[in-house]
Amino acid sequence: MAKLSFFPGFRFHPTDAELVCFYLRRKICQKLINPDVISELDIYKFAPWDLP
């Protein structure tokens, strides 16, 4: 997983509505989300105590 760098003070804190209306809707429609602020991770490849 690549480490993203943002400007100092950057904070990603979307509301539930923003996540559903923007991220999930675009993901279902297979549209790109740029910048890639939300990383995808297959949590089943890790033990619970090893999650990044």
Whether residue 24 is contained in a domain is answered as: yes
Question: Does 29 score more than 80 pLDDT?
Answer: yes
Q: Report the pLDDT averaged over residues 3-30.
A: 83
Question: Does 3 score more than 90 pLDDT?
Answer: no
Whether residue 45 is contained in a domain is answered as: no
Model pTM score: 0.46
Domain count, the chain: 1
Q: Report the pLDDT averaged over residues 26-30.
A: 86
Question: Does 7 score more than 80 pLDDT?
Answer: no
Place 4 in a pLDDT band, splitting at 50, 70 and 90: low
Whether residue 25 is contained in a domain is answered as: yes
Whether residue 46 is contained in a domain is answered as: no
Does residue 50 come out as left (phi exceeding 0), alpha (psi in the -120 to 50 range) or beta? alpha
1 closest CA partner among 49, 43, 33:
43
Whether residue 8 is contained in a domain is answered as: no
